[in-house]
Amino acid sequence: MNLYVGLDVGTTGVKGILVNEKGEILATANERLTMFTPQPAWAEQDPLSWWEAVKKILKNLSERSKEMGGKIRAISTSGQMHSLVAIDDNGKVLRNAILWCDQRTYKECEEATQILGGEENVLKLVGNPILPGFTLPKILWIRKHEPEIYGKISKIMLPKDFINYMLTGEVKTEHSDASGTVMYSVSKMEWNKDVLKELNIPESVLPEIIPSNGVVGNVKPEVASDLGLSEDTLVIGGGADNACAALGIAVVEPGDVMVSLGTSGTVLAPTKGNQPDPKGRVHFFAHTVPETRYHMGVMLSATYSLEWFKEKFLSEDYETINEEVDKIPAGSNGIIFLPYLNGERTPHRDPFARGVFFGISSYNTKWDMVRAIFEGVAFGIKDSFDILRELKVVLNSVRITGGGSKSRVWNKMLADMTGLRIQKPAVDEGASYGAAILAVSGSMGENPAKISKEWFRVKSYTDPAVENTETYEKLHEKFKKLYTSLKEMFRS
Which DSSP letter does residue 324 get?
A: H
Q: Taking the C-alpha atoms of 212, 96, 300 and 207 in order, what is their torsion angle to the nearest 10 degrees?
A: -20
245 has pLDDT over 90: yes
40 has pLDDT over 90: no
To the question of whether residue 82 is assigned a binding role by annotation, the answer is yes
Q: pLDDT per residue over 202-239, tens digit each?
A: 999 999 999 999 999 999 999 999 999 999 999 999 99
Active-site residue (options: 102, 161, 177, 241): 241
Helix, strand or coil, per DSSP, at residue 63 = helix
Looking at 49-58, 97-106, 113-122, which range is the least confident one?
A: 97-106
pLDDT tier, 427 (very low <50, low <70, confident <90, very high otherwise): very high
Residue 289 phi/psi, 5-degree rounding, is -95, 135
Q: pLDDT per residue over 165-195, tens digit each?
A: 999 999 999 999 999 999 999 999 999 999 9
Residue 27 confidence (pLDDT):
98
The dotted CATH code for 251-426+457-492 is 3.30.420.40
Average pLDDT over residues 322-348: 96
Residue 283 confidence (pLDDT):
97
Residue 456 confidence (pLDDT):
97
Residue 41 confidence (pLDDT):
85
To the question of whether residue 81 is assigned a binding role by annotation, the answer is yes
Residue 351 confidence (pLDDT):
85
DSSP string, 373-439: HHHHHHHHHHHHHHHHHHTT--EEEEEEESGGGG-HHHHHHHHHHHTS-EEEES---THHHHHHHHH
Which DSSP letter does residue 464 get?
A: P
Q: pLDDT per residue over 339-389, tens digit each?
A: 999 899 999 989 899 999 999 999 999 999 999 999 999 999 999 999 999
Residue 374 confidence (pLDDT):
98
pLDDT tier, 334 (very low <50, low <70, confident <90, very high otherwise): very high
Query: Is domain 2-243 annotated with CATH 3.40.50.10860?
Result: no
Which residues 6+ apart lie within 8 Å of 374 measured at CB? 306, 325, 407, 409, 410, 413
Residues above pLDDT 90, as percent of the chain: 96
Its sign, for the CA torsion 463, 253, 183, 220, is positive
Residue 233 confidence (pLDDT):
98
Domain with CATH 3.30.420.40 in the chain: 2-243, 251-426+457-492
Angle formed at CA 155 by CA 149 and CA 156, multiple of 5 degrees:
80
241 is catalytic: yes
pLDDT tier, 22 (very low <50, low <70, confident <90, very high otherwise): very high
Give the gyration radius of the chain's Cα atoms: 22
Q: Are 174 and 236 in contact (CB under 8 A)?
A: no
Average pLDDT score over the chain? 96
